[in-house]
Amino acid sequence: MRQFLASPMLRLRSRIVGMETNDKEEIELLTVKEVAKLLQLSESKVRDLQSTRHLPFIKVGGAVRFEKREIVEYLKRKKVAAIL
């Protein structure tokens, strides 16, 4: 039964664009694989960051998704300023 429930999620497009919130903003959801590519990390490292709650995530029907806006904010927080 679990496999049956997961299979529709696998068929979903990896990005959901056009979903609106109350603020009328678009939400773009990314998979672990897409976040790994964006951050230039391995998928296992992204899963480590997710499991230790360093990366905010959303569970959709048992699948883990990341909001692109929050991943970009994470990168900005991790930026180290140059010494001049």
Domain ranges in the chain are 2-77
- What is the band of 26 on the pLDDT scale with cuts at 50, 70, 90? confident
- Mean pLDDT over 1-20 rounds to 43
Residue where the block lists tokens 């919130």? 21
Identify the DSSP state of 77.
H
The number of beta carbons lying within 10 Å of the beta carbon of residue 34 is: 19
pTM: predicted TM-score of the whole model, two decimal places: 0.68
Tell me the pLDDT tens digit for each residue of 29-76.
999 999 999 999 999 999 999 999 999 999 989 999 999 999 999 999
Q: Kindly report the backbone phi and psi dihedral angles of residue 65, in degrees, each rounded to the nearest multiple of 5, phi listed first.
A: -135, 155
The rounded distance, in Å, linking the Cα atoms of 23 and 71 is: 19
